[in-house]
Structure 1
Amino acid sequence: MSKKPIAKQSNEDAVSNPKTGDLAKNTEDGLGQFLTSNQGLRVNDDQNSLKADERGPTLLEDFLLREKITHFDHERIPERVVHARGVAAHGYFEAYGNASELSRAAFLQPGAVTPVFTRFSTVAGSRGSSDMARDVRGFAVKFYTEEGVYDLVGNNIPVFFIQDAIKFPDFIHAVKPEPHNEIPQAASAHDTFYDFISTNPESTHMLLWAMSDRGLPRSLRMMEGFGIHTFRLVNAAGKSCFVKFHWKPLLGTHSVAWEEAQQISGKDPDFHRRDLWNCIEMGAYPEWELGVQVVEEADERKFDFDILDATKLIPEELVPVVKIGKMVLNRNVDNYFAETEQVAFCLSHMVPGIDFSNDPLLQGRLFSYLDTQLKRLGGPNFHEIPINRSIAPIYNNQRDGHMRQTINKGQTSYGPNRLNDNYPQQAKRSEGGFNSVHERVDGHKIRMRSKSFVDHYSQARLFWNSQSDAEKMHIVKALRFELSHVQKEAVRTRTLVQLAQVDAELVRRVAEGLGAPVPSADGVQLNLAVPADGNAADYQSAPAKANTSSSPALSIAPDSPINAGKASIKTRHIAILATDGADVAAIISLMKTLMDLGAQTAIVATHLGTLHGLGGEELLINGTFQSTASVLYDAVYVAGGEASVAKLKQDADAVRFVNEAFRHCKPIAASGAGIDLLKAAAYPGADDMLSADGVVTSSEAQVGGLAPKFIAAIARHRFWSRELAATPA
């Protein structure tokens, strides 16, 4: 007699009787059910990876971590699960030579110049989304060193939303489009994201960063990069120290206004990638300095936060950033798919002289990155794709596999062996062999968060205190926008409770914009990420430290320390508004002055073709008010010439061009009759445009006196003081 077959399961069904195969309906949302593994094992703790002691390394035997991350890594093909929309370029890294005492890595030694490939990306959106979404930006650098490939994988924000990698699938599931309708694309303004934020207090610090101006960079060339995690550097003597990696742009760190970002998404969703491509093509190569914050092993626990906690940063006032080299991107890719899309970054791509820490987010990501590439790029031989190949010779006993390109010769593919004199053989440390830092690990196997990680609000408060008044306004407006798109009132309320732990002014201003009551800072801290058998008190954050301290290095205001000494107009895009009858002599004079300083200029007129000046001169027009917009430029100049200005004043798009540039706090200049267009563009609340910060005018037709003031205004980038004067933006 044959056994009765078990019926095929659907997504809504589960086997309730393994003997008969009878099926029972399960609730679609899991209400009333225990969390289980893929094999039905009831899970006791889904929020902490298994470690050797609470601050120890993550253990490979953590099958729940591996199952959860493996499934997450393989959810989408072939597009990256995160960081799908990217742009990349080739370049080189030149070491300053002052890091040799910290690390024996060959690419950090004096005189070393190393080829690099750098990819920038948004995180949440698909490949077809806009460059200008409010989002974290990926900042990944592949060093092709003589000792092998080293990947420094980071973001433009120095902290992260979570402390343990086992929570990464949960976070990304929450921020991605909601699964029932695949909405919204490349946006965090929805219920599931804020449901996650409001129930995971550890995310509060990163939330403020994402809602700040850092989430809307003006250019990839004008944003910082961070390694996020704490790593180790190891010198030739074997001495180890902890480090945080920083990329500092030589052009300064700048942003755009939120309304401007929304308009750019419609006008040019490729704004960032086009900007990077064009600047490299014209020889204005983007540059960053690599810096490190160094913490000696003896000082590992001297701070009032844990340096292994990825939701925390080390304030630069406590540990200064030491510059150890410079990266220059000087060549665009030849083929987007072959290079930008097929490049594989892995945190586990390491070289001698650099090592890992026990950061539990880092430890899980070491597995995740490699696992992702195995699925996305077809198997274990993704390192043979040209963009991923090491320039160092490869000799190992790995053979075959999907898409194998190397034709290995010889009889042996194992070690040790005698048939081939034991080659390839292991390298001693003195011969350049990689050695992990010797660290004593003595503790219980345990799923537990270190108590030193449980302060979720103090650094969020530090970040808020460090922002300028304009930057604070932007954070408030961003949170109002985001939370106004959250449909569930309970989610909005829980998020406000989290903000109340950070700062009373912050939560009051956000709540007022939502028409919601202001919660007390004594409200429940709503941390649902508590294991079934855990002590809730061990997972609730300590109150934020009652201080008003700030870190000036966290602000990117035009006059902040981060932008000190970087008052350059190099690569800035200047729109020159003019049409037939314009003062061409003044235009040519200003264009030459600006371009000599590295700026880019474009004539924007009422029509394409040729502009005929008041003296009969001719200029080629670059765009019209229908084909371009003020949001694509950094500054605006209105040329003189009564006939030209009269026509511009009659063109609603020309008037709006100036109006929007003023709303977005950009430098504006006008000479002669051009001042009349500024008057026409003034709106209620902006009727004092001519005397506003960043607006430069001259009644003279010549621009000799106007140019220096305009250049100084462009170098400042933005004049956010206009917003503080109650001007909408």
Structure 2
Amino acid sequence: MEETPQSENPKLRDLEKNILKHEESAMTTDQGLKINDDHNSLKAGDRGPSLLEDFILREKITHFDHERIPERIVHARGSGAHGVFKLHESLNKYTKAKLFSEVGKEVPVFVRFSTVAGSKGSTDLARDVRGFSVKFYTEEGNYDLVGNNIPVFFIQDAMNFPDLVHAVKPEPHNEIPQAASAHDTFWDFISLMPESMHMIMWAMSDRGIPRSLRMMEGFGVHTFRFINENNQSTFVKFHWKPKLGVHSVVWDEAQKISGKDSDFHKRDLWNAIESGDFPEWELGVQLIAEEDEHKFDFDILDATKLIPESEVPVHLVGTMTLNRNPDNFFAETEQVAFHPGHLIPGIDFTNDPLLQGRLFSYTDTQLSRLGSPNFHEIPINRSINPIRNNQRDAHMRMQINKGAVSYHPNTIDGGCPFQAMMKDGGFHSHEERIDAKKIRNRSKSFMDHFSQARLFYNSQTKTEQQHIINALQFELSKVERPHIRENTVNQLTNIDLKMAQEVAKVLGIRVPENRVAPVNESKPAGADESHYASEVRDPKTKSDDALSIIKNVKNASKSRKIAFISIGNHTAEKLKSISNQLEEAGSKLKVVSSQLGSLKSREGHEVKVDETLFNTASVLYDAVIIGDESRSGKEILNNGKVKEFVMDAFNHCKPILVLSDSKTFIEEMGFPCCKNELKSAEELYIDTTTEGFLRSLSKHRHWDREELI
């Protein structure tokens, strides 16, 4: 038989492909020179000195020495993901932005979530605001919706932003504490700025410690404008509503998660996308006609205020799906540059003084952090719309501009690039009539600092209100100077006197008997006191259910992580049945035991152990199943780690399913609420059937259990 020619021999052809692939994968210098040895520097002899002429060594070391860029001053710790936005309902009545006009079109997005106060190396579970910023890569240019998971902010004017950040950051004399607001300088600032009280209610609520980045809302914070084809303006507030619902953890749990897995949120988002559980949010808008700007009992340009959904409903118009993790964290998540001034035709600013200041700050910080005005040429920041302008040169210029012209107007290049007509998509700022004196002042309409803080507090369930009280007690207990604790409590009396009294009781300070007139140090020196006097009144809207997490719980079963604890006393049939039911509900069951490897059931069937009692913890799971089906359940509870696991789940109000005799199990556990009497499984919110457990899981937590602890 004749030998097949090499070009037709499949084995040889594959070998040739591998050689070619190997050649393409060869290590090179930054200039493309293939490197033969990347392990040994050039020396004068085997044991001689390294030679200065080793340009390969110099390039490698120099790049390493400079591979860190300054971290963000705020929002340093972040997670990112790629995705798409799809519009379901056109808003062309209100805006000419194609992004919000063409139904069904998918627009690529990149989203970055972040904590605010901590450094890059801090924990995901700090009590903090979360950044929630979306970059839309549209055919009209990049549009950045830069927001947070809280719809309001601490301050009204950007002039105060450096002071706020300096106050919340680690104290300069000792660089303590990291990623925490529980210290003197922060609360000293807050106690003197009544405008921050609304934001404090949100930050001290469960919103400050989300269960997952996938389970938190996003807000544009500011009031923006939509501009339609007729140049008519409509005020707009942006909302992101997670399809998984909004869920939180408890503070003790958050602190323990920080120790067990400081990357908890980052890992959760990454793993969800890798496993195909793509996070989704619905984009909603609140629309306010231009003529209705002043119909509210607050100023819609005040960033410390929200527009209650009971007054202006959120209209859902599209869906964002995150479906791809970054290929390289630094190149994408770290180098992405958001800016509230990155607009497209049909969207414009308002005169919100906090927003106006941010327009300067973002550009300035990008120049400092990314080292050049060419940060827009970094791939993650690059517009899909071609860049044509007369800007040139500077560090790290990547675009190669051809021709002799870099100015406008010109005749040499036919006037190109030319200015776009408005009808062809040229951006045109909203023509707002302005007739005013230059003045450093604040509108009297901004002086109501407590009504919406009261609205938020009144909208919470009893459980959520107690969590706010607990958070304030914890934070202020870390404040060393008594007068700061007292000043803050005095401000709280203007929100709710009983709340302020509960907070004061544990702080070793005077418990206020009545409301204390608020202090306001935001006024200019020598300013009219009456103009800057804080208003203290009830809001027009007394309560709004949309502001509560617990009142809006969605089915919490999807993508939840459940621990099945066994030491070999379970039945394989029961484990398989529970696993199948949880999988149908969208949850993931993980087998936890004393050691890795495999675990034998009572019938001798083997199952893979996912985690051990030593390398994981209850706080990393959403619920617990005690798989031991022996009547007493004593054997499994002889393991102290199991007891600790279950006790944490109980104290954190998580669903618990017990497959052994529940009465004996409860006796053996010795729950703190049962020292004098034995309560039933129902009284302790412990399930004894898989069906009951699934119902518990859909509720997220048994918050009523806190009254037993």
Give the TM-score normalised by the residue count of structure 2.
Answer: 0.88
- Residue matched to 1:27: none
- Residue matched to 2:207: 214
- Residue matched to 1:616: 604
| Residue 199 of structure 1 pairs with residue 192 of structure 2 | yes
Q: Which residue identity does 1:82 align to in structure 2?
A: V
Farther-moved stretch of structure 1 (512-521 vs 251-260): 512-521
Aligned pairs for 1:65-214 (under 5 A) are: 78-109=70-101, 110-214=103-207
Q: Quote the offset at 1:547 in angstroms.
A: 7.7
Q: Quote the offset at 1:674 in angstroms.
A: 6.7
On the 8 A contact 1:578/1:645 being kept in 2, the answer is: no
- Residue matched to 1:404: 397
Equivalent of residue 247 in structure 2, options 241, 254, 260: 254
Equivalent of residue 597 in structure 1, options 562, 585, 588: 585
Superposed CA offset, 1:335-385 (max 9, x none):
100100000001111001111000000000011011110110011000000
CA distance in 1, matches of 2:315, 2:670: 47
Aligned pairs for 1:628-667 (under 5 A) are: 628-642=616-630, 645-667=633-655
Aligned pairs for 1:501-520 (under 5 A) are: 501-520=494-513
CA distance in 2, matches of 1:685, 1:675: 14
Q: Secondary structure at the match of 2:383?
A: coil
CA distance in 2, matches of 1:490, 1:341: 41
| Residue 540 of structure 1 pairs with residue 533 of structure 2 | yes
Equivalent of residue 575 in structure 1, options 534, 558, 563: 563
| Residue 336 of structure 1 pairs with residue 324 of structure 2 | no
Q: Quote the offset at 1:679 in angstroms.
A: 3.6
Superposed CA offset, 1:387-433 (max 9, x none):
00001111111110111011100111111111111111111111011
| Residue 423 of structure 1 pairs with residue 416 of structure 2 | yes
Aligned pairs for 1:447-466 (under 5 A) are: 447-466=440-459
CA distance in 2, matches of 1:677, 1:330: 43
Q: Quote the offset at 1:106 in angstroms.
A: 1.1
Computing the radius of gyration from Cα coordinates, the structure with the larger value is: 2
CA 1:637/1:511 → structure 2, altered by over 3 Å: closer, same or farther? same
On the 8 A contact 1:581/1:643 being kept in 2, the answer is: no
Q: Which residue identity does 1:90 align to in structure 2?
A: H
| Residue 555 of structure 1 pairs with residue 538 of structure 2 | no
On the 8 A contact 1:138/1:155 being kept in 2, the answer is: yes
On the 8 A contact 1:679/1:689 being kept in 2, the answer is: no
Q: Which residue identity does 1:695 align to in structure 2?
A: I
Q: Which residue identity does 1:78 align to in structure 2?
A: P
Q: Quote the offset at 1:108 in angstroms.
A: 1.3
CA 1:224/1:624 → structure 2, altered by over 3 Å: closer, same or farther? same
- Residue matched to 2:698: 715
Q: Quote the offset at 1:533 in angstroms.
A: 2.6
Equivalent of residue 679 in structure 2, options 688, 691, 695: 688
| Residue 277 of structure 1 pairs with residue 273 of structure 2 | no
Q: Which residue identity does 1:411 align to in structure 2?
A: A
Farther-moved stretch of structure 1 (328-337 vs 97-106): 97-106
- Residue matched to 1:302: 295
Q: Which residue identity does 2:383 align to in structure 1?
A: S
CA distance in 1, matches of 2:540, 2:294: 21
CA distance in 2, matches of 1:158, 1:99: 22
Q: Secondary structure at the match of 1:672?
A: coil
Identity of aligned residues (%): 56
CA distance in 2, matches of 1:644, 1:364: 65
CA distance in 2, matches of 1:96, 1:689: 49
CA distance in 1, matches of 2:665, 2:598: 21
Aligned pairs for 1:358-373 (under 5 A) are: 358-373=351-366
On the 8 A contact 1:291/1:321 being kept in 2, the answer is: yes
CA distance in 1, matches of 2:261, 2:196: 32
| Residue 232 of structure 1 pairs with residue 225 of structure 2 | yes
| Residue 587 of structure 1 pairs with residue 575 of structure 2 | yes
CA 1:297/1:228 → structure 2, altered by over 3 Å: closer, same or farther? same
CA distance in 1, matches of 2:458, 2:684: 25
- Residue matched to 2:312: 319
Instruction: Compute the RMSD of aligned alpha carbons.
Output: 1.5
On the 8 A contact 2:375/2:381 being kept in 1, the answer is: yes
CA distance in 2, matches of 1:582, 1:370: 60
Q: Quote the offset at 1:647 in angstroms.
A: 3.2
- Residue matched to 2:483: 490
- Unpaired runs of 5+ residues, structure 1, are 1-75, 698-705
CA distance in 1, matches of 2:75, 2:409: 41
Q: Quote the offset at 1:522 in angstroms.
A: 4.3
Q: Which residue identity does 1:652 align to in structure 2?
A: G
Q: Which residue identity does 1:621 align to in structure 2?
A: V
Q: Secondary structure at the match of 2:399?
A: coil
CA distance in 2, matches of 1:682, 1:350: 60
Superposed CA offset, 1:75-100 (max 9, x none):
x9600000000000000000113322
CA distance in 2, matches of 1:482, 1:82: 20
| Residue 356 of structure 1 pairs with residue 349 of structure 2 | yes
CA 1:96/1:266 → structure 2, altered by over 3 Å: closer, same or farther? same
On the 8 A contact 1:159/1:313 being kept in 2, the answer is: yes
Q: Quote the offset at 1:680 in angstroms.
A: 2.2
Superposed CA offset, 1:194-231 (max 9, x none):
00000000001101100000000000000000000000
Q: Quote the offset at 1:251 in angstroms.
A: 0.3
CA distance in 1, matches of 2:270, 2:254: 19
On the 8 A contact 1:682/1:689 being kept in 2, the answer is: no
CA distance in 1, matches of 2:447, 2:679: 50
Q: Which residue identity does 1:504 align to in structure 2?
A: L
CA distance in 2, matches of 1:520, 1:659: 38
CA distance in 2, matches of 1:546, 1:92: 39
CA distance in 2, matches of 1:548, 1:99: 28
Q: Secondary structure at the match of 1:107?
A: helix
Q: Which residue identity does 2:686 align to in structure 1?
A: V
Give the TM-score normalised by the residue count of structure 1.
Answer: 0.86
CA distance in 2, matches of 1:413, 1:645: 80
Q: How many residues align?
A: 638
On the 8 A contact 2:567/2:628 being kept in 1, the answer is: no
Farther-moved stretch of structure 1 (603-612 vs 457-466): 603-612
Q: Quote the offset at 1:675 in angstroms.
A: 6.3
